[in-house]
A and B are shown apart, each in its own frame.
Chain A
Amino acid sequence: MIRYSLRRVVLLIITLWLLTLLLFSLNYWYPGNPLTNMSGITADNLIAYQQAELARGFDQGLLSQYLKFLQHLINGDWGISLVTEQPVFDEIKPLLGATLELGLLAMALALFLGIPLGVYAAIQQRGLLDRIIMGLSLSAYSIPVFWLAQLFILLFALKLNWSPISGQINPLYAIDVQTGSVLVDILMSDSPYKTAAFYNALHHLWVPVVVLAIMPLTMLIRIMRNSVLDVLQQNYIKAARARGLNDRHIMFRHTLPNALQPIVRQLGLQFSVLMTNIIITEVIFNWPGVGSWLVKSIYERDFPVIQAGLLVLASLILLVNVFVDVIHAWRYPQIRKEIDAE
């Protein structure tokens, strides 16, 4: 187990290192001055520019420039935005909170609904409800997020008036941004209208969360169903039946824990899909997260911000994948054997 975990961590470090190499080279590939692209300091501000030149090793060779770049990255000195002239690292923290809130809630919703629905479909195999669930999940899987989001806005916001079109919360509640996650911020705030604010935030949250959850949800239903069907064919289930255990006991003690294995393995992949969709969802719902920030920075050619957005999203996906892999291997020892046997 330790050997396996170490291998994963080493792989993670190597991938992250390659990522920093890419980011570093981007500064030279973007149009304009590499130092400005990297630090956000323009030559207009001569004193700051000369200081940055020294700090970033621009009087020396490429190698020392790269080392200085790494050093700045690790110290959290990610330069300033070309547009707002604010430190990028400080800007990104609340945005990351908002993105994580949306992503985690969507993932939780997908798991919460997907696993029971998948199991249910498997038990009802070839029954009417099974066909309905599988049919719906297949059609939902084929709907692109940007279209689904617009459709939901049209239906729930404009026709039914069940939710607002965009934003995290009605801005009149004046909740100060601390973590960026609106629910946490409300709990931390000293607003006299905490309860009302919390309901208002949920009111804003549910549509983007549902939109984001649909794609992983449909995947989870299908994987869960197949996996349960697969496990039900195994000899140990037959043996359990032969021992006269009741269906409920067999399901919860024997089928489910084994059937969950492919779900855990899929989580990392599903998270990557979710992060791609979150960028689109954030833009459509004006969600103040890393995704919409990244898209806007591309329009504005704000290179320090583009880099920071890329770095954060890519490392987040990498970290989650490695984390899931390690959990998976820890929970299901047979996987480790498979890998070691290779």
Chain B
Amino acid sequence: MLQRIAIICSAAVLAACGPVSEHAQVEQDGLVYCSEGNPEGFNPQLGTSGTTVDATSAQIYDRLLDYDDKRQQFVPALASGWQALDDGTRYRFNLRKGVSFHNTDWFEPSRPFNADDVVFSFNRWLSPQHSYHHVNGGRYPFFRSSGLIRLIHSIERIDEYTVDITLNQPDSSFLANLATDFAVILSEEYAQQLLSSHQPEQIDRLPIGTGPFQFELFRKDFIIRYQRHEGYWREKPEIKRLVYVITPNANKRMLKLLTGECDVIPYPLVNELSKLDQNAEIEVGSSVSPNVSFWAFNTQRPPFDNVLVRRALAHAVNRPAIVQTIYDGNARLATGMLPETSWAYSDAEQTYPYNPGKARKLLAEAGYPNGFSMTIWAMPVQRAYNPNAHRMAELMQADLARIGVDATIVSYEWNTFRQRLVDGQHDSVLIGWVADNADPDNFFRPVLSCAAARSGNNRAMWCNPEFDKLLVAAISESDVDQRKHLYQFIEDMVKQQAPLVPIANSLRYQAHRSDIEGVELPPYGGINFRYARRVNDDSL
């Protein structure tokens, strides 16, 4: 009997080893990414969820232009070149020739990419009369919130490889918006084919693009499978197969990375990062994500309408200590509204240092020598830019007590919370902002302009016509150096007026096995596997 058990065991061990060489070949050619959730669909135009963007934008699709964050400039992608005409109200894009769409079981392209595809892709979200506009929900949140829908007047095909986009007014953030993960190019030919077979909704389920990987299969809650696009117009990816294994549990993701079942994982647990870093088989990558968490004052309410009070409060909180405690060292202390990754960023310190003595003096100057009482609203949800707003509020409460300000912490359910913020019921609030694109404008106009104050997105309820004039001047300017100068001016104004106190720019993490190279985590947008490859291990 024991003998038999021994035989069974040895069989099991044999099974565990298997034919090593074949297995190594399969592994060498592929990469497993353990993603954190199911994508909502396979078209980033329809949503803003990071999971969907990670699963689609950089893999399946290409855009007209890309943003190179190292050189901080726009580089050609599907458009080989572009010119701004008519004082920046018309842009002409020359399109690349010989770009092929994916050839799959469900679609065989008969022609390469051309102007019709661009016109189709834009009109889908731009024009409510378009036959695809209402397919699969018909909501295009990115294009609405970034103002592209209002900005673009029309898009026109000039010839097979030229399109013109006419704007309602000049806007220097226009190109930045086109370089986001949402402005992808779909296939017009595929759309027509689906329309004639009466299943237009398939366009977002069985996607066709020009990107480096083509979609193969999606099993909800289990896997998404891609294979290399053999006719890719740029350098082909080195890996032949790309698989997303859907693993929502963060603990399980970490364990699977340790056992080698995942090659790359997003969002590792923050408190396990140091342990992971010590493991020789694992490398942790990070990038400063374009976000900022801040403490905004309701400038419509006394005493926060007094700039001296706002400056006093800014001096009163010990931001370095807060960042250390809340983010466990995984965030950078903000030096202004703009994060380090922005091209308009400057090293100059544009915030108030911790100085309770000065804070007390300023309060006395403002007429509150004995302090006052106020509320701090702490958002009830975790976000990358602020993992624990309530704890942050408690730390600030202690700091404020030192200058005689008595703070109470307030929190509501998230939807109620936001509604009441819009109504302006708060004294101050801990919240933040994640940028959608690389343009510095995205950190000011949606957060601090008068228009934002009217729509309720301006948490400081701060409306300063002079500030708005500066913002408009900055986006109408096209010279980069000049713009950089203007944004420094704007930063300065935010510091002087102190409608809010920037706290931190948090990092975004990704961990991978050490034999994987080239997985890109661009600061703006989703993960990119185009340059990913497996380094040959000498022991194999």
Contacts and interface: CB of A to CB of B under 8 A. Distances in A.
A and B together in one complex = yes
Interface of A: 83-84, 116-117, 120, 153, 157-158, 161-167, 170-174, 177, 193, 195-196, 199-200, 202-203, 206, 286, 288, 292, 296
B259 A158 contact: yes
Given A164-B261, A166-B261, A288 B243 contact: no
B255 A286 contact: no
Interface string B216-240: 1001111101010000000000000
- Interface of B, helix, strand, loop or mixed by DSSP: mixed
Nearest to B4: A116
A166 B241 contact: no
A162 B16 CA distance: 7
Contacts of B258: 158
Contact of B1 (A116, A157, A195): A116
Nearest to B5: A113
B40 to A, nearest CB: 11
B469 interface: no
Contacts of A170: 26-27, 32, 261
A206 B12 contact: yes
A177 B227 CA distance: 17
25 contacts: A116-B1, A116-B4, A157-B255, A158-B255, A158-B258, A162-B13, A162-B16, A165-B255, A165-B259, A166-B261, A170-B32, A171-B245, A173-B26, A174-B225, A193-B22, A193-B25, A195-B18, A195-B19, A195-B22, A199-B15, A199-B17, A199-B23, A203-B16, A206-B12, A288-B222
B259 A161 contact: yes
B76 to A, nearest CB: 33
A172 B12 contact: no
B97 interface: no
Contacts of A84: 220
B15 A167 contact: no
A246 B17 CA distance: 44
Given A171-B243, A199-B19, A288-B219, A193 B252 contact: no
A170 B25 CA distance: 13
A200 B30 CA distance: 15
B29 interface: yes
Given A164-B261, A172-B241, A200 B18 contact: yes
B261 A203 contact: no
Given A161-B259, A166-B256, A171-B243, A296 B22 contact: no
Given A172-B29, A172-B32, A196 B18 contact: yes
Question: Which of B223, B258, B261 lies at the interface centre, i.e. has the most chain A CB atoms within 10 A of its CB?
Answer: B261
Given A116-B1, A193-B26, A157 B32 contact: no
Contacts of B245: 167, 171
A117 B26 CA distance: 40
Contact of A200 (B13, B23, B223, B256): B23
Given A166-B261, A203-B16, A286-B222, A196 B22 contact: yes
B280 to A, nearest CB: 15
A179 to B, nearest CB: 15
A171 B217 CA distance: 12
Given A157-B259, A172-B26, 11 more contacts: A120-B1, A158-B255, A164-B259, A165-B252, A165-B255, A193-B26, A195-B18, A195-B19, A196-B22, A286-B222, A296-B221
A268 B73 CA distance: 69
A161 to B, nearest CB: 6
Interface in B1-49: 1, 4, 12-13, 15-19, 22-23, 25-27, 29-32
Nearest to B201: A85
A158 B19 CA distance: 22
A163 B18 CA distance: 12
A117 B15 CA distance: 24
B255 A203 contact: no
Contacts of A196: 18-19, 22-23, 26
Contacts of A199: 15, 17-19, 23
Contacts of B26: 170, 172-173, 193, 196
A177 B220 CA distance: 13
Contact of B261 (A167, A193, A292): A167
Nearest to A196: B22
Question: Which of A84, A166, A172, A296 lies at the interface centre, i.e. has the most chain B CB atoms within 10 A of its CB?
Answer: A172
A195 B16 CA distance: 13
Contacts of B22: 193, 195-196
A120 B220 CA distance: 47
Contacts of B13: 162
Contacts of B220: 83-84
Given A158-B259, A164-B259, A166-B261, A171 B19 contact: no
A165 B261 contact: yes
A167 B255 CA distance: 13
A155 to B, nearest CB: 12
Given A163-B16, A196-B23, A286-B222, A171 B32 contact: yes
Nearest to B255: A165
Contacts of A173: 26
Contacts of B30: 172
B273 to A, nearest CB: 19
Contacts of A171: 32, 223, 225, 243, 245
Contacts of B4: 116
Interface string B184-197: 00000000000000
